[in-house]
Amino acid sequence: MIYVDADACPVKAEVERVATRHRVQVYVVSNGGLRPSANPLIENIIVPDGPDVADIWIAERAGPGDVVITSDIPLAARVVDGGAEVLKPDGEALTAANVKEALAMRDLMTDLRSADPFRQGGGKAFSKADRSRFLDALERVLRKVAP
C-alpha cells in the first residue's frame, strides 16, 4: 500500500499514475479540500482538523512493505521505525540510515528560525527535475517492496 500525506503534496497525480500501473492501493490522507479520484485504487481519507492527525493515522497503519509519501520528517521517522519505505516528493528516500540526521537538521533549523524571527525560511521551488526524480524513486521502491 501507499500512504500519501496529502496536504501540500505536489505529486499526488504521479502517485496515482504509478500506483495504477503497479495495481497498488493508495490512501490519500488529508483534513479535506481534495477532489476525490474516480480511480478504485485511490481512497481519500479525511481526518479531523488538528495537529498531526493525518500523521497519526498514517503512522498507525504503515508498516513493512508499505510506502509513505511525505515531507514531514517526524512522520517519516515514525514509519521508518515501523518498517515502511519513505519518499519525499522530490524523490529523496528517508531510511533508517538518514532519517535521524534529517530529523536533527529539521530541529536545528526550527531552533535557528525561532532565535531569529526575521530569518527567511522556505526552500527551493519544486521543479520538473524533482518530479522526474520522484517518479523514478517511486518505481524503484515499488519494485523493491513487491511481493
CB 76 within 8 A of CB 70: yes
Rounded to a whole number of angstroms, the distance between the first and last alpha carbons of the chain is 11
pTM for this structure?
Answer: 0.85
Q: Which of 68, 55, 121 is nearest to 94 (CA)?
A: 68
pLDDT of res. 120: 60
pLDDT of res. 26: 97
Reduced to 3 states (helix: H, G, I; strand: E, B; else coil), residue 8 is coil
Is it the case that residue 64 has pLDDT exceeding 90?
A: yes
Mean pLDDT of 77-95: 94
Q: What cell does 71 get? A: 515531507
30: burial class by Cβ within 10 Å (0-12, 13-18, 19+)?
Answer: buried
Is it the case that residue 66 has pLDDT exceeding 80?
A: yes
Is it the case that residue 127 has pLDDT exceeding 60?
A: yes
Provide the CATH number for the domain around residue 16. Answer: 3.40.50
Mean pLDDT of 20-28: 96
38-42, 48-52, 79-83: least confident range? 48-52
Domain that holds residue 39: 2-145
Is it the case that residue 69 has pLDDT exceeding 70?
A: yes
CB 138 within 8 A of CB 67: yes
Q: How many domains does the chain have?
A: 1
